[in-house]
Amino acid sequence: MKLPVVAVVGRPNVGKSTLFNRVLGQRLAIVEDWPGVTRDRNFARAEWNGRQFYLVDTGGMVEGSDEPMDRLIRDQVLTAIGEADVLMLVVDGKAGPHPLDYAIAEHLRRTAKPTLLVVNKVDNLGAPTAVAHHDFWDLGLGEPLPVSAMSGKGSGDVLDRVVWDLPAVEGEEEEALRVAVIGKPNVGKSSFVNRLLGEERLVVSDVAGTTRDAIDTPMQYQGRRLVFVDTAGLRRQSKIGEGVEFYSSIRTERAIERADVCLLLIDATEGISVQDLKVAEKAWDAGDGLIIVVSKWDLVEKETMTAPNFEKEIRDRAPFLKWVPILFTSAVTGQRVHRVLELIVEVEEARQRRIPTHQVNEVVRALVTRTKPPAFQNHPVKLLYATQVSVAAPTFVIWTNHPEGVTDSYQRYLQNGFREAWGFLGVPVRINLRRRGEEEEDDG
């Protein structure tokens, strides 16, 4: 990554995610009143005074705990500290210094990296609080910076200090290709991303629902910057409760909306479900590229036609799945995991493909010659002119004398003809009909 990285660390429930959201100006991280809500490293791009940087929200660090989840989170926090250029230790200004604060501060001092001591929950910056005493100076991280992440008081001063400590950056960072990893809970999304990246960047546990936020994780591939978003699993609406699960589903929906390409993971041992189809439709309707990744393929007993039969079962469930690539993988063995990177680039190229207008009209004329549109109220339907008006997803406008006479089945015929001509692998193709005489517009 060319942009510098700022990691927000601290013990549980000191307001790290609230501060993270305050800096970004939006609720990207889940915030609740109990510890342990944030488990993974949550990346997002931030900007202050013209300087851009990655802000990393981390889980609450607990030293000396024997709980497996606490150990996993601790490893994640230490990784975030190792990756960061600037560190922010968030402490609780109401509670005063805690033994865990001292333990974390010791880790940070060893890094010799610029470190800011941010004392949160100071709602009245001028009132006598723990900040006014010398208690937090004992952490050995320099001057305590008071802030109220909830109201935003003092956050500007903290960001001024962050920008001051950022290393110099040369050149501009290219626009990232965003890839959302979606699917039901516990199908192995985090394990898949970790295998793809070659390191344990995301918490992986046998406990369902370990991933609660949509986690941004960047990587480089063939000179392109990819950002993988590992999302919390989308459950059926009736299964979504209040609080953390509700917000997790919102984050996943937003991740799909913001993504360029979605990887839908399906558990090979369970097959495709109605919920999988609904998730696929969400991505398709959002105009994203779509790739179906069948995970845990190593657990399936193989026969001669196992993969083709599994693929046919998927494609038979919905017409649009005919155009979606399907990949059989295993995060455990690594089987075909890295093939997905090639597919991501291929699908995004199809999503950005622009067809010259003369080619569009040649294909439309050939399709009409092969099969004419049905008549409308005893009047012939004529397709007069066509052009592509936008990409991502590819969108075409066709002018006709009777837009209402072009049936859905004939529109599907045209879409299929466009695919035969230009591919558009894994990408929705949209056709808008306009009446002759309507002014040409850009639908993008």
What digits encode the pLDDT tens for the residues 302-319?
777 888 898 898 999 888
| 249 and 330 share one domain | yes
Residue span of the structural domain in which 404 resides: 357-435
Q: Is the pLDDT of residue 259 over 80?
A: yes
pLDDT at 210: 39
Assess if residue 440 is contained within a domain: no
| 99 and 228 share one domain | no
Assess if residue 73 is contained within a domain: yes
* pLDDT > 90 fraction of the chain, expressed in percent and rounded: 25
Q: Which residue has the higher pLDDT, 246 or 215?
A: 215
Number of structural domains (the chain) is: 3
Q: Is the pLDDT of residue 30 over 50?
A: no
pLDDT at 9: 86
| 198 and 329 share one domain | yes
| 268 and 376 share one domain | no
Task: Compute how many other C-beta atoms are within 10 angstroms of the C-beta atom of residue 49.
Answer: 10
- Give the Cα separation of 426 and 377 in Å (integer): 36
Assess if residue 444 is contained within a domain: no
Q: Which residue has the higher pLDDT, 365 or 257?
A: 365
Cβ–Cβ < 8 Å for 37, 73? no
SS3 content of the chain, % helix, strand, coil (to 5): 35, 20, 45
Q: Is the pLDDT of residue 31 over 70?
A: no
| 181 and 109 share one domain | no
Instruction: Work out the average pLDDT over 412-439.
Output: 90
Q: Is the pLDDT of residue 430 over 70?
A: yes
| 414 and 278 share one domain | no
| 192 and 253 share one domain | yes
| 46 and 145 share one domain | yes
pLDDT at 43: 66
Domain final residue pick, 114, 141, 165: 165
| 323 and 389 share one domain | no
Domain CATH number, residue 394: 3.30.300.20
| 395 and 334 share one domain | no
Would you place residue 149 in the very low, low, confident or very high pLDDT band (cuts 50, 70, 90)?
confident
Summarize pLDDT for 239-252 with one digit per residue, the tens.
Answer: 433 333 433 455 56
Summarize pLDDT for 165-195 with one digit per residue, the tens.
Answer: 888 765 544 578 889 888 877 777 777 777 7
Q: What is the pTM of this model?
A: 0.59
| 19 and 36 share one domain | yes
Domain CATH number, residue 269: 3.40.50.300
- Give the Cα separation of 145 and 128 in Å (integer): 14
368: its two tokens? 């009409």
Instruction: Work out the average pLDDT over 257-269.
Output: 87
Residue ranges of the alpha helices (H) in 51-128? 68-83, 99-111
| 224 and 372 share one domain | no
* Three-state secondary structure call for residue 77: helix
